[in-house]
Structure 1
């Protein structure tokens, strides 16, 4: 295990001890605990899942009405990037259940304020910038390859042309690398900011440390998250009403196992 020093001023808790012995069994245990949290207090999960679903449907409607396939595809691919920030309230709900503290809409919705130090909101800015950057990069890739195909951005048929298939391959590779980097940065840092009075750079360092010390297990967790969110998005996003809160609660329990 590794110990991360705390920064002066913000980090008033004991130094974070990073576990380097996570197993696949810990992922199963986290999912089980996440499901129990969801069942015990479904109103919070359904609320945050509903917000996520409505935002996704609204974005898709705008893109479809405008006939802009060039924005629709990257929006669908990048939409999971904002899921960790949406799940902040779920981390707080799990934290309170775990410590037998009273649950209520006030503290759960107020979790975005963190400890009154704007650290979570600062992470929110990073999330927004990352999503915006991905949209710009993906749109540029789309424009480059579709220009070669000679087809407009409104045509789905463009995707089955050689240029369209090459665009999907390159876009998937670039998007996958960006998503992995973003995942490594946020998977532990956001629940840590809910749990502890730390600076967001310290939380990001801890997140990378957990990733580095448990690479195989954390990559497996990334694959589980990506797979479940992708499946949940297929039936008009409806599956996200359950998948998002369960994964959010589960991520909290994985954080508790990984950081002491």
Structure 2
């Protein structure tokens, strides 16, 4: 499949000097659907490996809810989420490795996918810690917002509106920031021997340059995660591997390389 590289416009991100920014390509509005299609092909090629990772993704939130229900100790949520934020990048790296093996014409194996994290271990761990810190920060901000509007002061819908507006606004800003940081950071770290700052700044730049396609991609992710929750996390068994594979194809479609990539 041929690819046409376009010169990436310079902006405040690429000229910030904070870190090296790998150039990105301009995406088309229909590219996220293409990524899903290619991700589905990877899933169908390796159904057992996909289910293995999907079960783990489904089991972690189920375990968190089970512990809360069994113990009634809601404080278990925080350490559980912290663990998940550290484990999540490693699980995603395994899925990216499977798609990468398909691209290279190799047969993916569980052992090879589990070793994927070792390619850039220090920065992968750094990425997990960064996600953990951001999640803890969000939980603390949410606690402050909740403290500003205690339940005994909320008597009707009108008095509830400031709480909803503030919480929704802050939550939306946090989600945007997380998406900018995480959209392509993990696959960049997996494939390229670069530092965490370079990977993060490259991800932010690629999303910023391609706002409309990436907004559509964010909507697809949100929808699939919502379906996973509605189905009691069972949907994650299929949806999380599909998202992982599609994210890899999004990465190789968005970030420039010196050679042409093979999609299928």
Instruction: Please indicate, yes or no, whether the TM-score normalized by the shorter chain is above 0.5.
Output: yes
Distance between the aligned counterparts of 1:172 and 1:114, measured in 2? Answer: 38
State whether structure 2 residue 201 is matched by structure 1 residue 190: no
**CA displacement 1:187-230 (0-9 Å, x = unmatched):** 11111111111111111111011011111111111111011111
User: 1:109: how far off?
Assistant: 1.1
User: 1:172: how far off?
Assistant: 2.5
Partner of 2:148: 144
**CA displacement 1:75-128 (0-9 Å, x = unmatched):** 99xx8998566322111111111111331112211222233x511111011111
State whether structure 2 residue 233 is matched by structure 1 residue 228: no
Alignment equivalent of 1:131, drawn from 124, 131, 135: 135
CA contact (8 A) 1:85 1:190 kept: no
Partner of 2:114: 109
Distance between the aligned counterparts of 2:69 and 2:251, measured in 1? Answer: 38
* Secondary structure of the structure 2 residue equivalent to 1:237: coil
User: 1:244: how far off?
Assistant: 0.9
State whether structure 2 residue 32 is matched by structure 1 residue 36: no
Q: Please list every run of 5 or more consecutive structure 2 residues that lacks an aligned counterpart in the other structure.
A: 1-6, 257-264
* 1:86 to 1:101, Cα distance in 2 relative to 1, 3 A: same
Pairwise CA RMSD: 3.3
Alignment equivalent of 2:23, drawn from 14, 17, 21: 17
User: 1:166: how far off?
Assistant: 4.5
Distance between the aligned counterparts of 2:179 and 2:68, measured in 1? Answer: 26
CA contact (8 A) 2:85 2:132 kept: no
CA contact (8 A) 1:232 1:243 kept: yes
Q: Please list every run of 5 or more consecutive structure 1 residues that lacks an aligned counterpart in the other structure.
A: 151-157
User: 1:144: how far off?
Assistant: 3.1
- Counterparts of 1:89-108 in structure 2, within 5 Å, are 89-108=94-113
